[in-house]
Structure 1
């Protein structure tokens, strides 16, 4: 049975920066009952506390942050890039350990954003781009979806398990 890496906040764990969750139902409930879900929050697994100040990628894009040419900074200016990269690397290792080929991640997060992240100025504006974990998983061939793409994720799971013909 194919496992799916899922942002912990999407399965009810209160790990978001604000101490909350983003509980989603539907296919995630089914996958949880089937024992498919491997929940993980890259930020907390790397040692960041809950709650914590919000963080955004400043001074460049995700690729630049991963090369040390931009930074993930908390709203108070503290550089937390190393923790975000460590969390992404742990997520990738978990995917390898469980042979995971699909991830469902929290859209908009500087870790998990799949198609958009915040603009780096703490304005609430979203820009096109991926978070650090989403980018690293994608780079290693893992199909990454947001909580708004659950139908597509389910279709990919069906393909991997040979249920689409």
Structure 2
């Protein structure tokens, strides 16, 4: 996890009386969101239980040069390697020039998970979700309320999936 220094003007005045010269630190925004996603992911998997297979849908943000079919196939393979079932629907948003539009397919994938059709949305990584940090956190919390999750592609070593979540 990454830490960033806390500016002196944001410190609580009650802390100043300790007289500590050590700098105060806090999690960066990306570290905080990563920890939050991981906790919600663990909670959602625990809610699925051991007697049922986890179902996921795949989401790809198709920037320039992205092989959409290959990306969905890689996500589906990763899901099967984890013992998960891949839902027949897949979701793809295309990158556009100009101002950021709404990302209807990402929203639809999350609604799919929230509605119980799948347990989670499998994406490549945080950069594959075209939403701001505030929106991303709202999606995480919204899905958590319905025992759903966002999962990232697991790295592979030597052709086998990494077993560490």
Common fold: TM-score over 0.5 = no
Structure richer in helix, relative to its length: 2
Name which structure has the greater RCO, CA cutoff 8 Å, separation 6+.
Answer: 2
> Whose Rg is larger?
2
